[in-house]
Amino acid sequence: MSTISIAQFHKVFFEESLEGLDAMETALLALDEGGNAELVHSIFRAAHSIKGGAATFGFPEMAAFTHEAESLLDQVREGRRAVDKVIVELMLRTVDCLRGMFDRAQNGQPLADAQSEALKQELAAAAGHSAPAAASKAAAKSTASSGWVIQFRPHKSMLAGGNEPLRLLRELAALGQLNVEALYDRLPVWEALDPTECHLGWRIELTGSATREAIAGVFEWVEDECDLSVEPLATAAAAPVAEAVAAPAAANAPSGNARAAAASSNDAGSVRVAIDKIDGLIDLVGELVITQAMLDQFREEFDPSRLALLQQGLAQLARHTRSLQESVMGIRMLPIGSVFNRFPRLVRDLSQKLGKQVKLDLVGEHTELDKTVLEKIGDPLVHLVRNAIDHGLEIPEKRRAAGKGDVGTLRLEAFHRGGSIVVEIVDDGAGLNREAIIAKAVQKGLITNGDNITDEEVGELIFQPGFSTAAVTTDLSGRGVGMDVVRRNVVDLGGSVAIKSRPGAGTTFTITLPLTLAIIDGLTTSVGDECYIVPLVSIVESIQLPADAVRTVTGGGELFRFRGEYLPIIRLHEQFGCANARQKIEEGLVIVVESDGAQVGLFIDELVGQQQAVVKSLEANYRRVDGISGATILADGSVALITDVAGLIRMQSRRKAA
Amino acid sequence: MSDQTRGTGPQAQYLTVNLAHEEYGIDILSVREIRGWTPVTRIPQSPHYVLGVLNLRGAIVPVIDMRLRFGLAREEYDATTVTVIVTVAGRQFGVVVDAVSDVIDVASDAMRPVPDMGTTVDTEYLKGLTAVGERMVLLLDADKLLQPQDAQMLEAALAANDVKAVA
């Protein structure tokens, strides 16, 4: 069946259309803030390709629906209708509705529902009101209100009767301005196509002063060989819908299976890769093959005199392998803009609902992130943005009282820092409500009293699971709803969340994410008989401390002075229980590491070397281990564990508190 | 080299391994491979019977010492010491035993319930026992070796710790 073969393109169609919808939404929001003609064109184009695709791939309900939106957009595009809030609102709802349709299409459910039908009527009505204006352009002003929509579906046998549809269309054209759309939803598969039969239908918009009788006259000879409906233009919009829905329901019965098939293959996911990335890969593989051939020669005729060549070949191999690895990783990298794009809409809707004025700044949309990271960072970001608007930014009156402008600013910024991607969510709202948070924490038994708590620790409190209850939302004017979930999600990605807040001046959330989950640069260290890898990104400096540089504080902690600050020392051999490790500070090394803005010194025996580590999960076959983020395989085939610096720091502070 | 035990029910094959002079059977369908003992990388904060992890063709696989798991004295590893890699519920792990000995066919009706005492091993890890000639073979329930409740209990304890130790 052709429907099966078409079904394999469904996924591409869905993906493209969803991208199109995103583009439409972005353009609509820009339009809302005063846009130009180009924006309208891009919205129109997006709607048009969705309509075309929907008709081609057997989603007539979607095509009919989009058609209404397109008609309305067409009027805007041709300047017959001004862009106003009403249209933008209507189109935004259309975008949402289409998203819903795509959802249902992917799950093989019926596309149209009450909501989409209602919205379709609304769109038709909106387009219909100005339809007269459309006519006025085409024909004389006096006849502006007249026009017809003709739905013409010849029976298969019509051609055999000697009737030529083209002739009929020409005759109609004589009656006024024609806008003809072919209906090809009844086209059979190629093998089943009988060229002597007529499979096409037409939807004709006739604007002009023609009477119903005149139109009937044109179709006089084919009346009993076709399905014909003639409706006045203004009210016609709804009419083709019913037919379009009914007709394909019969014609496209098998497409249900096809949709189910498409839905089942949805999970795999796909990445669009720029062609130059692929070309780069092919080049590299070519180089690798050449190097391999070169090395192969040595196998056949080994001669010590050519050792230099062998070394050269191996160096080349190492270089190519590394570039190949980087290129392959590059394929998974996508700009964070695809996640940022959903925020203008979210911010607009939320701020309207809450009566706040919010200006959203997006910076660094082109920063690239691993696809897996990108997919999982969306929800935490939405959560943070929602919180910032809900709890952080104030209503205009309050802002004025605080001496700030009416419009609050929310900035999302992504940038590279070292080997990580940093995403900042900055608002200029009220900041954290310190007193309320402390009160809540005391009540929850998380802390005993709030006297000696620094602002940082207050920020830390809202990440506690206890703060995610509904009661907090109402008791507390600060934020903290589900922040533990946000943190957990980010930590699962190998990242970290830090919070900075100044009362009255706003709050900054800083999310640090690894560029990729698969490979890290690490420093191999030995501790006793064992070997641990410390991620290079978290290392600030390695130093050797003299014995007298370490101060012991009451309570058991060890501190040392580093760049004017006292940092705690974590003895890795104690933390991990390693045997035969060096005990004296002056005999080993201290690596200053940083995570979440906190620094500590890791006491180890020796540095062994630097290497790239392919991160393997411990959890796949075992379970999570505190202080260990994963494992990797060393050159000799043995396993080395990778330290989780953020986790170690957390363990340290936990121990300090206990 | 397989010994047939008497019985008529559906057959299952077991790999038998030696452990402290007793013979244990592991369902052969869960056995991935048998390899000589190679040193493993220790994992911090693990139960004492988890020796560490090894690299099994790129996968990180935990290895447990069956003697320690069953509360027996640890033996020096020697030439016959082997690691049996088993897959249970999609997870792979290695089990260190004194030696592998045989593959036996066990008919379902030749499997006897475990009496409550008389073995060095906690009966909870056993599915049953069977006789092969004069030998008695204890059939292991591989699912329970790397016990999920161990991990769960630990995690629960840690989580509780987390909440208490704030600030």
Report residue B85's pLDDT band, with 50, 70 and 90 as the boundaries. Answer: very high
A351 at interface of B, judged by CB pairs closer than 8 A: no
| CATH number for region A519-657 | 2.40.50.180
Q: What is the DSSP string of A610-657?
A: EEEEE-B-STTTS--BTTEEEEEE-TTS-EEEEE-HHHHHHHHHHHHH
**Residue A345: closest CA among A23, A76, A16:** A23
The residue of B37, B40, B49, B53 whose CB has the most chain A CBs within 10 angstroms, and thus the best one to mutate to test that interface, is: B53
Output the six-digit token pair for A171: 């005759």
Instruction: Name residue, tokens 């990104």.
Output: A537
**B window 7-66, beta carbon within 8 A of A:** 39-46, 50, 52-55, 58-62
pLDDT for res B109: 81
What topology does CATH give the domain A2-264? Four Helix Bundle (Hemerythrin (Met), subunit A) (1.20.120)
- Distance from the A410 Cα atom to the nearest Cα atom in chain B, whole angstroms: 29
pLDDT for res A248: 39
The residue of A524, A622, A628 whose CB has the most chain B CBs within 10 angstroms, and thus the best one to mutate to test that interface, is: A622
Domain ranges of chain A: 2-264, 275-331, 335-514, 519-657
Which of A466, A530, A620 is nearest residue B60 as measured by Cβ atoms? A620
- Distance from the B131 Cα atom to the nearest Cα atom in chain A, whole angstroms: 33
- Give start and end residues of each alpha helix (H) in A174-306: 212-218, 233-236, 239-251, 255-264, 275-300
- Distance from the B53 Cα atom to the nearest Cα atom in chain A, whole angstroms: 7
**A window 461-480, beta carbon within 8 A of B:** 461, 464-466
pLDDT for res A412: 92
CB A75 within 8 A of CB A81: yes
| CATH number for region A335-514 | 3.30.565.10
For residue B56, the one-letter residue type is L
Which of A453, A621, A658 is nearest residue B165 as measured by Cβ atoms? A658
- Does the beta-carbon distance from B58 to A616 stay under 8 Å? yes
- Does the beta-carbon distance from A577 to B44 stay under 8 Å? yes
Q: What is the DSSP string of B10-64?
A: -EEEEEEEEETTEEEEEEGGGEEEEEE----B--TT--TTEEEEEEETTEEEEEE
pLDDT tens digits, one per residue of B106-124: 888 888 887 766 555 566 7
- Quick one: closest CA in A to B160, which residue? A465
pLDDT tens digits, one per residue of B144-167: 776 655 544 444 444 444 443 333
pLDDT tens digits, one per residue of A189-234: 777 777 777 788 888 888 777 777 777 777 777 777 777 887 777 6
Residue numbers in chain A where pLDDT is lower than 50? 1-3, 130-145, 235-267, 469-480
Domains, chain B: 2-164 (2.40.50.180)
CB A511 within 8 A of CB A423: yes
pLDDT for res B62: 92
pLDDT tens digits, one per residue of A391-404: 788 888 888 888 88
B153 at interface of A, judged by CB pairs closer than 8 A: no
Give whole-number Cα distances, A471 to A46, A475, A477, A483, A621, in Å.
44, 6, 11, 14, 39
- Does the beta-carbon distance from A622 to B42 stay under 8 Å? no
Whether ipTM tops 0.95, in short, is no
* B128 phi, psi to nearest 5 deg: 170, -175
CB A61 within 8 A of CB A101: yes
Strands A519-527 and A530-535: antiparallel
Output the six-digit token pair for A246: 């009914």
- Quick one: closest CA in A to B56, which residue? A637
**A window 414-453, beta carbon within 8 A of B:** 441, 446-447, 453
